[in-house]
């Protein structure tokens, strides 16, 4: 498989994993009643952004793929920062109303346009758990893995062709 095809597949994998994360969050919200806080829905939005960026990178010419790998890395880093903030700061506060996450989601209009996906319906202090771990551990881990894939795409170089068969 060619170097460009590997990059395309990796970007597609980032996009699919990001969309799967949003799908899993929606499943746990509606099937298991694990309601999202403002930081949770912000991370959903970042997963959607990451999916969009990675998908565009996979579909556009190979020349642009490193740029979209970089943008994917930045989006994954934003998601990891949001998950870390949720765990270290927001989950320890009594109220997470009108935090940065609320302001970003309100400014984006996503919560008004698609409330079933992006409306926060719980407080950060509720600390929902999935299989015994705080929800932000799961999203943070996935953001870190996707950032590692994007970073790998940026540092991986095409192997030189050492042998030529005539």
Domains located in the chain, CATH noted: 3-155 (1.20.1550.10)
Task: Indicate yes or no: pTM above 0.85.
Answer: yes
Residue in this structure with the two tokens 């992006």, named with its chain if needed: 118
pLDDT tens per residue across span 30-45: 999 999 989 999 999 9
pLDDT tens digits, one per residue of 57-72? 999 999 999 999 999 9
Nearest Cα residue to 121 out of 58, 10, 33, 7: 33
Q: Give 126-134's long-range contacts (Cβ < 8 A, gap of 24+).
A: 126/35, 126/37, 127/91, 128/34, 128/35, 128/36, 128/37, 128/40, 130/28, 130/34, 134/87, 134/91
């Amino acid at each position: 498989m060619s170097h460009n095809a590997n990059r395309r597949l990796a970007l597609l994998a980032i996009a699919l994993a990001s969309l799967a994360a949003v799908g899993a969050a929606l499943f746990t919200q509606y099937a298991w009643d694990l309601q999202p806080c403002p930081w949770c829905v912000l991370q959903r939005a970042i997963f959607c952004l990451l999916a969009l960026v990675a998908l565009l990178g996979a579909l556009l010419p190979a020349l642009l793929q490193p740029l979209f790998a970089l943008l994917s890395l930045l989006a994954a880093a934003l998601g990891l920062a949001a998950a870390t903030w949720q765990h270290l700061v927001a989950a320890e506060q009594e109220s997470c109303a009108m935090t940065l996450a609320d302001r970003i989601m309100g400014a984006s209009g996503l919560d008004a346009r698609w409330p079933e996906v992006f409306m926060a319906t719980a407080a950060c202090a509720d600390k929902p758990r999935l299989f015994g771990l705080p929800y932000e551990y799961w999203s943070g881990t996935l953001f870190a893995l996707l950032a590692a894939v994007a970073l790998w795409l940026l540092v991986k170089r095409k192997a030189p062709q050492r042998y030529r068969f005539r």
